[in-house]
Amino acid sequence: MNVLVIGSGGREHAIIYKISQSPKVKKIYCAPGNAGIKDLAQIVDIKDYDIEGLLKFAKENKIDLTIVGPEVPLVLGIVDKFQSHGLKIFGPNKKCARLEGSKAYTKDFLMRHSIPTAQYEEYTDFEKAKENIDKFGYPVVLKADGLAAGKGVVIAQNKEEAMTALEEMMKEKKFGQAGAKIVIEEYLTGIEASILCFVDGKTIVPMVSAQDYKKVYDKDQGPNTGGMGSYSPSFLDNEGFQEEVQKMILSSIIEGFQKDQLDFKGILFIGLMITNKGIKVLEFNVRFGDPETQVILPRLKTDLIDIMESIIDEKLDQQSILWREEKTVCVVVASGGYPEDYEKGKVIYGLDDIKDSIVFHAGTKEKDGEVFTNGGRVLGVMACGKTVEEAREKAYKDVSKISFEEMHYRKDIGKVITPA
Ligand code: AMP
Ligand code: GLY
């Protein structure tokens, strides 16, 4: 079959790496892709939000299956559009994608279905939000309702910080329309974990667990990023944890989908906080996580295309899903300055010397045979091992062979960081 993958990050590189092993796949296209993806797929110069352009391409190139990586096209309704033209596409429809596209909608879903989550209130009126800003004490969490490229969540330590964030979101429109509505939420403390699940509307199957590292510096210091690395399985993962997640979270989610007539088909990413009062849901994403995917998919034994087709056909309950015992670690190498401003266009050296890892490209671009940086998160160096420790040693050995001007990365990916 001909497959089109939409997206250009490390997540999409990992998806393409995995599906390129499928005997069912003849040719892979990727829009817009990156320099690493180019070795496995034909790059197509169409942006992920250009739904009409992608549709035209899929029709003209006889695409048998389209796989959507990022949230933006899903929230824009690419799945509904492709389906209305009789094209097969993997991902949730527009109605279901609201579970990532609107924080208030998600909070309402969680509350109505008694799924444990932080207390919250939503506001569209600045004055009302201001009046109630103290309601949950401090720190307090403020969230722009809509998509804000991962930047729409502010943890305010005091009233002053909360007011600044509120003004930026609602008055100055820092996130545009995404901040027209906001959520004020109780601050939870605990250890975060992510569970990614395959969902076909009726059945929900968790993948092996993974953990990402959001803060830019070692020991979880500094500002939030899109993710500086990941490892799998999470140190929290044991039978008790899995049972609690299944009982308290997953069963209620699938029941909630059915009650709300949400025909969710695709990947559900559940962000959790393990608090001393039990596990609570922080957020949903309606797609694979980045960089979680880079440590999860290399552990998947089963053909990912088979799983995706079983989801589209609502036969996930009949699909066997097998995982390797090997553990994985992925270290993200970033541009100087990231997550704030950074320069692009630096030559990347050492990629040909990598022996024991797979380098998933994120922000890279090729020109005249050389690879250049083209984003904040540039590469994800992923290695496998019998233990997480073995995997991290291999990954860091290969990271040390890579260089570009002002590159930086965390030195503690794969280590357990507990909150201070
Ligand atoms: P979200 O996009 O909702 O996952 O938020 C991004 C990050 O903000 C999460 O990964 C958490 O680290 C943090 N966060 C979100 N909601 C809360 C909360 N209620 N309490 C504490 N931290 C939170
Ligand atoms: N790693 C978090 C995310 O993909 O949103």
Q: What is the pLDDT of residues 188-210, one digit of tens each?
A: 999 888 999 999 999 999 999 99
Residue 169: name the closest of 144, 146, 136 by CA: 144
Write down the pLDDT at residue 171. Answer: 84
Ligand 2 within 6 A of CB of 10: no
Tens of pLDDT, residues 355-388: 899 999 999 999 999 999 999 999 999 999 999 9
19 in Cβ contact with 7 (< 8 Å): no
Neighbours of 263 (CB within 10 A): 16
Distance CA 295, CA 391 (A): 11
316 in Cβ contact with 310 (< 8 Å): yes
Per-residue pLDDT of the chain (420 residues; tens, 9 = 90+): 999 999 999 999 999 999 999 999 999 999 999 999 999 999 999 999 999 999 999 999 999 999 999 999 999 999 999 999 999 999 999 999 999 999 999 999 999 999 999 999 999 888 998 999 999 999 999 999 999 887 788 899 999 999 999 988 888 888 888 988 899 999 999 988 899 999 999 999 999 999 999 999 999 999 888 899 999 999 888 888 899 999 989 999 999 999 999 999 999 999 999 999 999 999 999 999 999 999 999 999 999 999 999 999 999 999 999 999 999 999 999 999 999 999 999 999 999 999 899 999 999 999 999 999 999 999 999 999 999 999 999 999 999 999 999 999 999 999 988 766
Q: Which ligand is nearest to the CA of 227?
A: 2
Distance CA 365, CA 281 (A): 37
Write down the pLDDT at residue 237. Answer: 86
Ligand 2 within 6 A of CB of 117: no
Residue 235: name the closest of 301, 327, 326 by CA: 327
* Distance of CA 60 from the midpoint of ligand 2 (Å): 32
pTM of the predicted model as reported, rounded to 2 decimal places = 0.95
* Distance of CA 153 from the midpoint of ligand 1 (Å): 7
* Distance of CA 11 from the midpoint of ligand 1 (Å): 21
Q: Over 39-79, what HEC string results?
A: HCCEECCCCCCCHHHHHHHHHHCCCCEEEECCHHHHHHCHH
Q: Which atom of ligand 1 is nearest to the CA of 189?
A: 21
* Distance of CA 31 from the midpoint of ligand 1 (Å): 30
